[in-house]
Amino acid sequence: MILPIYLTFTEVYAQQLALLQYKGGGDWYANQRTSLPNLIAFALKNDFALEKNQAVVKSDSKEIFKYPFVHMTGHGRVFFDESDIKNLRAYLENGGFLHIDDNYGMDKFIRKEIKKLFPDKELKELPADFEIFHQPFDFPRGLPKIHEHDGKRPQAFGIFIDDRLVLLYTYETDLGDGWESPEVHNDPPEKHLEALKMGLNILYYAFTH
């Protein structure tokens, strides 16, 4: 079992996860029904102290500071305007964590928006020995492959501030689809579990850094 994690990010909503509602026309709500809820349920079974319900937060809303972990997904266009960039950057510079998971089709848009968000930084691919792949579950080869998509190898990229990973971008894996109930995509049980374990690793890193 995993030791309970108690956050101090805020007093009231410190342990609630949020889904990011962004501009641009992409389907930010793609996995809203079962994805994060299943990850939350899995985390609760492993002694994480989380609220049972996910929240939805807009990319330019000050409400984002209530949530220590924000998940972003979708298939299509993403656009961050000046207010989004200012808000998201302040959130990440002050202890927040953003996980962006390409649901297939987001890649060509999100890389440009990440560059707008952090023009002074480069997305760095995380090596297989990076700690996020080894606590509490061990993934010796790094990010697992959940869905085929274009058949490319799964990759995890990050933005760091003062040696802390603040933005994680997962590509060619589709963890969010893997978190969904198996009947949604007909995923085999082992892939569903693998995705949940990797999701828990991401939460563990975000909550302990």
pLDDT tens track for 85-121: 999 999 999 999 999 999 888 999 999 999 999 999 9
In whole angstroms, what is the distance from residue 114 CA to residue 100 CA?
Answer: 10
Mean pLDDT of the chain: 90
How far apart CA 133 and CA 156 sit, in angstroms, is 10
201 domain residue, yes or no: yes
Query: Does residue 194 lie in a domain region?
Result: yes
Interval 170-188: pLDDT, tens: 999 999 999 998 787 677 8
- Looking at per-residue pLDDT, the higher value among 184 and 82 belongs to 82
Is residue 137 within 8 Å of 200, Cβ to Cβ?
yes
Sign of CA dihedral 29, 30, 32, 38: negative
Q: Which neighbouring-strand residues pair with 99?
A: 71, 168
Number of structural domains (the chain) is 1
pLDDT at 149: 67
| pLDDT above 90 for 79 | yes
Q: What is the CATH number of the domain that holds 69?
A: 3.40.50.12140
